[in-house]
Structure 1
Amino acid sequence: MLMISIREMDKKELHTHAHRLLRECLRPLGVDYGEDTPVTKGKMGKPSLADRPDIHYNLSHANGIAACIVSEQECGIDCENVREYRPKVMSRAFSENERQMVESASAEERDLLFFRLWTLKEAYVKALGIGISYPMDKAEFSFRGGEIVTDIKGCRFRQYITGNGKYVVSVCELLNKAQ
């Protein structure tokens, strides 16, 4: 289950709001999520429900947007408000192909393209549970029409552009080995 909410609020309120989204996503699964819900943290700090290891979740929030995913597989989500792209971040986190793609995009498309790529990378490392310790430039993405193109195996990626192109939300789910 995926929930996205666009609301203007300060950073602390967005954090609380993201947890409200999680509560709503968990309710149909019979989980009464709240401040007292036992949560454990993985080696790199990724939270999970102590009493329900079969349920995986991830949260994200940025200026004006909060997002939550709940899944049967390990998952990651990242959301960003589109703003001016960051060349210094791109130089250390993007592959050469990605840098060329962003730099050759029109001025109108460059910022959105940067955040489309960035959120896919963030969602991926969050699904893995390792955060930005992963060499981000090794997770390479491109686009073919509406399709996300990557050599990364064992993952399903989705992306949503909302708010008239003002926000990008990317999701990564690790596929079960049996699939």
Structure 2
Amino acid sequence: MLMISMIDLDKREFHSHAHKMLRECLRKMGIEYGDATPIVKGKLGKPSLAEYPDVHYNLSHASGIAACMVSDRECGIDCENVRDFRPNVMKRAFSEKEREMVEKAPESEKNLLFFRLWTLKEAYVKALGVGISYPMDTAEFSFDGENIITDIENCRFRQFILKNGSFVVSVCEINNGDN
């Protein structure tokens, strides 16, 4: 289940808004979620529901957008508002092919392309539960039209470009080996 909210909130309010979205998603599954819900954290800090080990979730928020994903598989979600990117981030986190792709893109498409790649990387490492300590330049993506191209196995990626390229949301689900 995926929920995306484009809303104008104070920066401090996005975190609680994302948790309200999670509460709504879980309620639809018959699970009550609140301040007293037991949460356990993986070895690198990824939270999960102590009483529902087969229910996985992930949250993300950025200026103007919040997103929540709930799945029966390990999952990750990242959302970003498209803005000028920082080249130093690209140098550290992108493969040589990805850097070339962004550098060769028309000037009007560079920021969107950067955030399309960045959110895929973030969603992937969040699904793994390892965060940005993962060598992000080794998770490589490209595009064939709307199709996401990667050699990462056992993962399903989806991406949503919203409000005429103003926002990007990427999701990753890790296959459990059943399909």
Q: Does 1:69 align with 2:88?
A: no
Instruction: Tell me whether 1:166 sits opposite 2:179 in the alignment.
Output: no
Name 1:152's counterpart in structure 2. 152
- Summarize the alignment of residues 28-177 of structure 1 with structure 2, pairs less than 5 Å apart: 28-177=28-177
SS at match of 2:5: strand
- Shift in Å, 1:162: 0.5
TM-score by length of 2: 0.99
| CA displacement 1:111-169 (0-9 Å, x = unmatched) | 00000000000000000000011100000000001100000000000000112210000
Separation of aligned partners in 2, 1:164 and 1:145: 16
- TM-superposed CA distance for 1:178, in Å, is 2.7
CA RMSD of aligned residues (A): 0.6
Deviation at 1:70, TM superposition (A): 0.2
Aligned partner letter, 1:105: A
Aligned counterpart, 2:4:
4
| AA partner of residue 33 (structure 1) | Y
Shift in Å, 1:23? 0.6
Secondary structure class of the residue paired with 2:118: helix
* Displacement of 1:177: 1.7
Quote the offset at 1:11 in angstroms.
2.1
5+ residue gaps, structure 2: none
Mapped partners of 1:93, 1:7: distance in 2: 29
**Structure 1 stretches lacking a partner, 5+ long:** none
Equivalent residue of 1:132, what SS?
Answer: helix
Distance 1:137 1:109 in 2: 21
**Distance between the aligned counterparts of 2:163 and 2:35, measured in 1?**
31
Q: Distance in 2 between matches of 1:69 and 1:12?
A: 21
Identity %, equivalent residues: 69
- TM-score after normalising by structure 1: 0.99
CA distance in 2, matches of 1:58, 1:96: 29
